Structure 1
Amino acid sequence: MYTRVSTEEQARSGYSLKEQLRACREKAGTNDVIEYVDEGLSGEFLDRPSLTKLRKDVLADVIDVVICLDPDRLSRKLMNQLILSEEIEKKAQLIFVNGEYKRTPEGMLFYQMRGAIAEFEKAKITERMSRGRREKARQGKVLRDFQVYGYSYDKEQEQFKINEYEAKVVKLIFELFTNTNDLVKGINGIAKYLSNQGIPTKRNAKQWHRQVVRQILMNRIYIGEFYQNRWNTEGMLGNKYKQEDERVKMKQRPKEEWIQVPCPAFIDKEQFEHAQILLKQSRRRWSGINKNEYLLSGLVRCSTCGNTMTGRRQKNWGTYVFEYSDVKNTAGAKHKGCGFRIKCEELDQVIWNTIKEWLNHPEKLDELSESEDDSYSYEKAELDRINYELSRVKNGRQRLINFLMEEDVIDEQEIREKLKELKEKELSLNNNKIKIQELLDGVEGNGIKEVLIQKASAHYLSLGSRDLEFGVKRDLIRSVVKEIKVSSDKKVEIYTF
């Protein structure tokens, strides 16, 4: 006897295992039976422990007759029902309590109709449950405990409430990441600091990972924006039964389908938006540790070719010179650079003098050289290039499809491989386009320039008139500057957040 029940069916239809076993035993007319029971498992997938054991025993001629309450107990999918039925009937007799079917055209038609109805019913149940959850979210309810650090879940009210202890840790993370300090450097430094301080994670683990810190810094719930119905997880339930390359990936739904649920905020929006900008630049700013430190590391870009300018030590007539250069010697570099370079001492002095003037006189914000049209010009040019490449890829795919549909194709396999290659290129371009567009969208209308200058100025003035250490200077510059562009005629443009 094979029986199965999932939690939703037990609650909805009273399909208890005891009831199924009783009905199957009555049908068998004997107690000389073996019970194969799968409890709390979906009929959508074939990989179930007891069903797998049943199939092995049938194949080994251990049993003669298989009794099941209904075809949908074997599977909720018609295709799987037919596969299982054919497999069992090669070795044994298959009997259903609720209706018999014969191996005739009419009998098979009836069986398939029942299977199609069962599959349709499963789809409708899923759709009704999803619709119910969406409606609940629209009413401002939090569907379950999402285990968000900084919040506790009120099950009765179905709402988030601030966890005071965890909220203090979240505030500390944002402070360490967005403000100059002597404690940590970057996300990895924050994770190590929290671990060393013995602060537990949401799951009471002792070790903090940089990815957890990054997720906290990116989570908009801390400024009062929590979204449900954001991710499409359809089909992911069966991932544990599939090979790595066959698993269904979670996909983000279009933004218009997201449902925002209000929640208490405890991080300032200006500070949060500042963190998002720093996150987008963190790989460039903290990409590695050089043997020599450079004041403007990760901030300088060549205006001519668009390459970032990195610090390096060059030997010139027996003397070592430190300089910023746009030349890329890395194998596979997309742009080798135009060869422009400038001495570190020269550029560092220009930038630090300008920053000091701003910090001493923060009220002179109107004198900042940034203009809306020039800001992120490299990213805007790259976005135009990606859009052009996307149109070329789409046209190329269409031409290949038209050619494939013609008769007397010489090498059909080669065309299909080329189509696959173009599809992968289109996917890669779209991913890059999304990242750049998010960057450009994120910097529009943030209104955080004045706040950052004022905070940096207060910190600078508190240090007094003494000479500042290299690290302090670097942190002050990074706290207000997002990029420095230098042209071949040594014209310098400073862009603030």
Structure 2
Amino acid sequence: MIVLYARVSTEDQARSGYSLPEQLRACRARAAELAPGTPVVEFTDDLSGEILERPGLQAALDLVRQGQVQYFICLHPDRLARNLVHQLLIYDEIRRAGAEIVFVQAAIEDTPEGRLFLSMTGAIAEYEKAKIIERTRRGMIGKVRAGGVPHIIRLYGYKFVKGAKHRPANEVVVPDETESRWVLSMFRWCAEEGLGPQAIAERLTQLGVPTKRGKEAWHHTTVRRILRNPVYATGRLVLGKRDHRGIAVARRLPKEERLKRGIKLTARPKPAGQEWGTIQVQPIVPMDLWQRAQEVLAGFRIGGRAENDPRRRYMLTGLGRCGICRGRLMYLSGRQIVCASRYMRHWVAGAPPSDCTLPAKPREAVEAAVWEQVRSWFQEGLLREALEQELAAMAAAPDQTGMEQELEALEEQIQAKREEQERIGLLFARGLWPADTALPALERIANELKALESRSKELRRRLAEGPPVLEQSPLWHLLNDREWLEQVRATLDHLDYAGRTELVQMIVGRYVMYPTGRKQPPKVEVFPRLQ
């Protein structure tokens, strides 16, 4: 028996290239010269020669170990392996099994000189592979630095324009009209409704929004990666951050084998400074919305916000805004209140640098300034006036753009689901779609349509209502409760920190801190809560 082995480096080469057929043709011709009429078994691989455990090679070696193979024919030693040690291991194993290894393009005899020549060709093949990797990497880095895109980008919210590889990056990787709307909705749900990755994933699945790969179900880790990715706000897409070598091979191994060897299907992060570079694409999410989402995400743990999270004890959590960049204010180590955008890069990988110059202020001083304003509202009867002014300001500039964009995306999704429902129903009626798969599909689409229409109805109601009305504010009803007001006024000066925190979170909608000197007290402006 004769074994023929051929190899190319990628699936694409195996599928559409000519190397494999040519390698096998040359090996068949050599087999016909060595032993005419002998049965021939062919094995092929479409994996890198750096990898020893290739399915085709291992199957060929298993057959060789049975002791019935006379010749093992390969085109060239570099087709056998691109690693010198691997070449020698395979060569010795074939020889120990009693088979003769034959290379079509290299005459190697079983002599000291032949083994020396084999070692030299193996070393040259290994060197050539290293140079190929180096040249490819250098070419990709050069293209990135020139503003180009070296490979296909698969990032939710963006689409890769085929045939435009030689154009600038912002013309090759562009926002996808439908996906970008759902990205914006994810950030809005997180920042404005306080939803975590799990709740957002469940909502997307319920609404029938497909993932980037076209799957129906969303996973919370996918949503978290999207929400934590600064490219959606900055447009700065870093390429070559992770090492993907070996992932393609690991995917082909059975799950039991991967678990046995401890192999994971996750790329390894590269050390800092080894990235290829950065390309600029069009941002999808406003920076302010992205920063608010990061603050909400920071409070979530597996299963929700931790009950012992120290931020629950702080008076002004989630209420502060920067007077310079309008970003969120945050507690830093429980001692200072700072602009979150200045410190975002320390706790969100890849967060953009900030030009904000708002100085940090002691937590006690800022809390005291806000508490003094809340106290004056009650003592001087100014809360009603402040509430009316805040309502007038909101009515003058209603922020309904986000809801309108989400509603537009919902309408497109509803239309697509109805067309899919009609298509499946028509195929089922004509007997072209079996009932055991058509009926569950129609039921799934009906449930998704119900969820989509329910969400659309809710958004239409909120848009029709417009900005909040004074009489609809919970705080307005409390102001009309004289007994409650008298009770608050009587206990203002006797509340402990927990009591003050509860009252501030109930009354204050937001506060803005403006820059002052390092040793000067903080300057804050406090606004009442409308909803």
Same fold (TM over 0.5): yes
Cross-structure match for 1:163: 176
Q: Secondary structure at the match of 2:174?
A: strand
Cross-structure match for 1:175: 188
* Residues 1:216 and 2:229 are matched in the alignment: no
What does the per-residue CA deviation read over 1:105-129, in whole Å, with 9 as the maximum and x for residues that have no partner?
3222121111111111111112212
**Distance in structure 2 (CA, Å) of the matches to 1:196 and 1:21:** 51
Q: Secondary structure at the match of 2:40?
A: coil
What does the per-residue CA deviation read over 1:393-443, in whole Å, with 9 as the maximum and x for residues that have no partner?
xxxxxxxxxxxxxxxxxxxxxxxxxxxxxxxxxxxxxxxxx9993369969
Q: Secondary structure at the match of 1:122?
A: helix
Cross-structure match for 1:386: none
Q: Which runs of 5+ in 1 are unaligned?
A: 291-296, 301-308, 310-346, 381-433, 482-493
| TM-score, normalised via structure 1 length | 0.60
Cross-structure match for 2:119: 112
CA contact (8 A) 1:178 1:479 kept: no
* Residues 1:192 and 2:189 are matched in the alignment: no
**Distance in structure 2 (CA, Å) of the matches to 1:197 and 1:125:** 47
Cross-structure match for 1:23: 26
Q: Secondary structure at the match of 2:299?
A: helix
**Distance in structure 2 (CA, Å) of the matches to 1:475 and 1:169:** 32
Mark the CA change 1:15 to 1:479 in structure 2 (over 3 Å): closer, same or farther. farther
Cross-structure match for 2:7: 5
CA contact (8 A) 1:280 1:439 kept: no
Cross-structure match for 1:47: 53
Mark the CA change 1:5 to 1:214 in structure 2 (over 3 Å): closer, same or farther. same
**Distance in structure 2 (CA, Å) of the matches to 1:441 and 1:480:** 28
What does the per-residue CA deviation read over 1:461-496, in whole Å, with 9 as the maximum and x for residues that have no partner?
946364359999969979779xxxxxxxxxxxx9x9
Cross-structure match for 1:231: 242
Cross-structure match for 1:146: 153
CA contact (8 A) 2:75 2:105 kept: yes
**Distance in structure 2 (CA, Å) of the matches to 1:371 and 1:169:** 27
Cross-structure match for 1:245: 262
Cross-structure match for 2:347: 438
Question: Counterpart amino acid of 1:165?
Answer: T
Mark the CA change 1:176 to 1:447 in structure 2 (over 3 Å): closer, same or farther. farther
What does the per-residue CA deviation read over 1:328-350, in whole Å, with 9 as the maximum and x for residues that have no partner?
xxxxxxxxxxxxxxxxxxx97xx
CA shift for structure 1 position 166: 1.5
Structure 1 vs Structure 2 CA RMSD: 4.8
**Distance in structure 2 (CA, Å) of the matches to 1:475 and 1:444:** 34
* Residues 1:126 and 2:133 are matched in the alignment: yes
Cross-structure match for 1:377: 333
Aligned residues: 362
**Distance in structure 2 (CA, Å) of the matches to 1:118 and 1:15:** 21
Mark the CA change 1:261 to 1:20 in structure 2 (over 3 Å): closer, same or farther. same
Question: Counterpart amino acid of 1:136?
Answer: K
**Distance in structure 2 (CA, Å) of the matches to 1:438 and 1:378:** 16
**Distance in structure 1 (CA, Å) of the matches to 2:207 and 2:26:** 61
Cross-structure match for 2:142: 135
CA contact (8 A) 2:49 2:79 kept: yes
Which of 200, 207, 216 is matched with 2:217 structurally? 207
* Residues 1:71 and 2:77 are matched in the alignment: yes
CA contact (8 A) 2:5 2:57 kept: no
Mark the CA change 1:39 to 1:283 in structure 2 (over 3 Å): closer, same or farther. closer
CA shift for structure 1 position 378: 5.6
**Distance in structure 2 (CA, Å) of the matches to 1:154 and 1:145:** 9
CA contact (8 A) 1:44 1:75 kept: yes
Mark the CA change 1:444 to 1:135 in structure 2 (over 3 Å): closer, same or farther. closer
Cross-structure match for 1:274: 292
Mark the CA change 1:264 to 1:100 in structure 2 (over 3 Å): closer, same or farther. same
Q: Which moved more, 1:241-250 or 1:150-159?
A: 241-250
Which of 304, 311, 322 is matched with 1:299 structurally? 311
CA shift for structure 1 position 48: 2.5
Cross-structure match for 2:283: 265
Q: Secondary structure at the match of 2:124?
A: helix
Question: Counterpart amino acid of 1:174?
Answer: F
CA shift for structure 1 position 279: 2.1
Question: Counterpart amino acid of 1:5?
Answer: R
Q: Secondary structure at the match of 2:147?
A: coil
Mark the CA change 1:161 to 1:442 in structure 2 (over 3 Å): closer, same or farther. closer
Q: Secondary structure at the match of 1:57?
A: helix
| TM-score, normalised via structure 2 length | 0.56
Cross-structure match for 1:387: none
Mark the CA change 1:139 to 1:34 in structure 2 (over 3 Å): closer, same or farther. same
Q: Which moved more, 1:111-120 or 1:66-75?
A: 66-75
Mark the CA change 1:201 to 1:379 in structure 2 (over 3 Å): closer, same or farther. farther
CA contact (8 A) 2:241 2:276 kept: yes
**Distance in structure 2 (CA, Å) of the matches to 1:70 and 1:277:** 58
Question: Counterpart amino acid of 2:184?
Answer: K
**Distance in structure 2 (CA, Å) of the matches to 1:458 and 1:277:** 23
CA shift for structure 1 position 38: 0.9
CA contact (8 A) 1:167 1:266 kept: yes
Mark the CA change 1:286 to 1:472 in structure 2 (over 3 Å): closer, same or farther. farther
CA shift for structure 1 position 447: 4.8
**Distance in structure 2 (CA, Å) of the matches to 1:477 and 1:215:** 32
- Between the aligned residues of both structures, percent identity stands at 29
Question: Counterpart amino acid of 1:268?
Answer: P
* Residues 1:464 and 2:474 are matched in the alignment: no
Mark the CA change 1:87 to 1:472 in structure 2 (over 3 Å): closer, same or farther. farther
